[in-house]
A and B are shown apart, each in its own frame.
Chain A
Amino acid sequence: MLEIKDLSISVENTPIIKNLSLTVRRGEIHAIMGPNGAGKSTLARSIMGYPGYEVNQGSVLLDDKDMTELEPEERATSGLFVSFQYPVEIPGVNNAEFLRMALNAKRNSQGLEELDPLDFDDLLTQKMDALHIDRDFKNRGLNEGFSGGEKKRNEILQMAVLDPKFAILDETDSGLDIDALRIVSSGVNQLANEQNGLILITHYQRLLNHIQPDHVHVLLDGEIVKTGGKELALELEEKGYDWLKQPSHS
Chain B
Amino acid sequence: MSSTTDETFRGQEYAYGFQTDIESETLPKGLNEEIIRALSSKKKEPEWMLQFRLDAFRRWQQMEEPDWAHVHHPPIDYQDITYYSAPKKKPVLDSLEDADPELLRTFEKLGIPLREQKRLANVAVDAVFDSVSIATTHKKQLLEHGVIFCSFSEALIDYPELVQQYLGSVVPTNDNYFAALNSAVFSDGSFVYVPPGIRCPLELSTYFRINNEESGQFERTLIVCAEESYVSYLEGCTAPMFDSNQLHAAVVELVALDKAEIKYSTVQNWYAGDPETGKGGVYNFVTKRGKCAGEYSKISWTQVETGSAITWKYPSCILVGDNSVGEFYSVALTNGHMQADTGTKMIHIGENTSSTIISKGISADRSSNSYRGLVKVNKGAKGARNFTQCDSMLVGDQCYANTFPYIESQNPSASIEHEASTSKISEDQLFYFQSRGVSIEDAIAAVVHGFCKEVFNHLPMEFAVEAQQLLSLKLEHSVG
Contacts and interface: CB of A to CB of B under 8 A. Distances in A.
Interface of A: 45, 48-52, 71-73, 75-77, 81-82, 84, 87-88, 90-94, 97-98, 101-102, 105-106, 109, 141, 158, 162
Nearest to A105: B437
B423 interface: yes
B437 A90 contact: no
B438 to A, nearest CB: 5
B333 to A, nearest CB: 15
Interface string B426-454: 11110111111111101000110111010
Contacts of B480: 51
Given A72-B431, A101-B442, A92 B436 contact: no
Contacts of B428: 88
Nearest to A158: B436
A82 B397 CA distance: 28
Given A51-B427, A91-B423, A92-B451, A72 B446 contact: no
Given A90-B450, A92-B450, A92-B453, A162 B432 contact: no
7 contacts: A72-B435, A76-B434, A90-B429, A92-B451, A98-B433, A162-B436, A162-B437
Contacts of A77: 437
Nearest to A87: B432
B439 A73 contact: yes
A88 B434 contact: no
Contacts of A76: 434-437
Contacts of A75: 435
Contacts of B438: 73, 101-102, 105
Residue with the greatest number of chain B CB neighbours at <10 A, chosen from A51, A76, A90, A97: A90
A71 B437 CA distance: 9
A88 B432 contact: yes
Contacts of A162: 436-437
B427 A93 contact: no
Q: Decide if the interface of chain B is mainly helix, strand, loop or mixed.
A: helix
Contacts, number: 79
A109 B453 CA distance: 28
Interface in B161-191: none
B431 A51 contact: yes
Interface of B: 423, 426-429, 431-440, 442, 446-447, 449-451, 453, 480
A144 to B, nearest CB: 9
Nearest to B439: A73
Nearest to B421: A91
Contacts of B433: 73, 90, 98, 102
B432 A105 contact: no
Contacts of A84: 432, 435
Contact of A106 (B423, B437, B451): B437
Closest 5 CB pairs of A and B: A92-B450, A72-B434, A76-B437, A105-B437, A102-B436
A175 B450 CA distance: 28
Nearest to A50: B431
B477 to A, nearest CB: 16
A58 to B, nearest CB: 20
Nearest to A83: B435
Contacts of A141: 450
B261 to A, nearest CB: 28
A111 B139 CA distance: 48
A162 to B, nearest CB: 7
A48 B433 CA distance: 12
A82 B427 CA distance: 16
Contact of B436 (A49, A71, A91, A105): A105
A45 B432 CA distance: 10
B437 A88 contact: no
Residue with the greatest number of chain A CB neighbours at <10 A, chosen from B427, B429, B438: B438
Contacts of B442: 101, 105
A109 B437 CA distance: 9
Nearest to A159: B436
Contacts of B423: 91
B429 A88 contact: yes
A158 B433 CA distance: 12
B429 A48 contact: no
B431 A98 contact: no
A98 B446 contact: yes
Given A92-B451, A93-B449, A141-B450, 4 more contacts: A76-B437, A84-B432, A97-B446, A101-B438
A71 B442 CA distance: 14
Contacts of B436: 73, 76, 98, 101-102, 105, 158, 162
Contacts of B439: 71, 73, 105
A90 B447 contact: yes
A88 B437 CA distance: 16
Contacts of B453: 92
Contacts of B450: 90-94, 141
Contacts of A49: 434
